[in-house]
Amino acid sequence: MPELTRRRALGAAAVLAAAAGAQAVAAPPASAAPDPHHGGPESFEEVYRGRRIAGRPTAGGHHHGGGYGVFIDGVELHVMQNADGSWISVISHYDPVPTPRAAARAAVVELQGAPLVPFHAN
């Protein structure tokens, strides 16, 4: 049996790392569209501090929210879901919250009665 050398050990480690990387690349991506039946955010609509807030799945995948739209008084609030599952908005970008509803509520608080101006990300 051949002697195990540092060169052979490093070569074997490189082969294993390459194989693991190939499997990760070949794995089918998880769907980015929220699905309330599979852990995605639920739709909501309510009046919060005098403002109508709503959230629902949207058609198209161009949103950072993965096909989920949040609206304040009918104007879309740009939201994004982080890798850890938390949500941020263009209004409260540095204060992640657990749900899109919480992002809408945080934005209403930050707006202090001011109207939400549409934000075009592209």
Count the helices and strands in the chain (H runs, E runs): 2, 6
Q: Give the pLDDT confidence score for residue 30 in this predicted structure.
A: 40
How crowded is residue 27: how many other Cβ atoms within 10 Å of its Cβ?
A: 8
pTM tops 0.85, yes or no: no
Residue range 108-119, pLDDT digits in tens: 999 999 999 887
Residue 102 has pLDDT above 60, yes or no: yes
Q: Give the pLDDT confidence score for residue 24 in this predicted structure.
A: 46
Percentage of the residues of the chain whose pLDDT score is greater than 70: 65
Mean pLDDT of 37-54: 88
* Residue ranges of domains in the chain, CATH in brackets: 36-111 (3.30.1880.10)
Q: Which DSSP symbol is given to 120?
A: -
Residue 65 has pLDDT above 60, yes or no: no
Long-range contacts, 53-62 (Cβ 8 Å, 24+): 53/101, 53/104, 53/105, 53/108, 54/104, 55/100, 55/101, 55/104, 57/33, 61/32, 61/33, 62/122
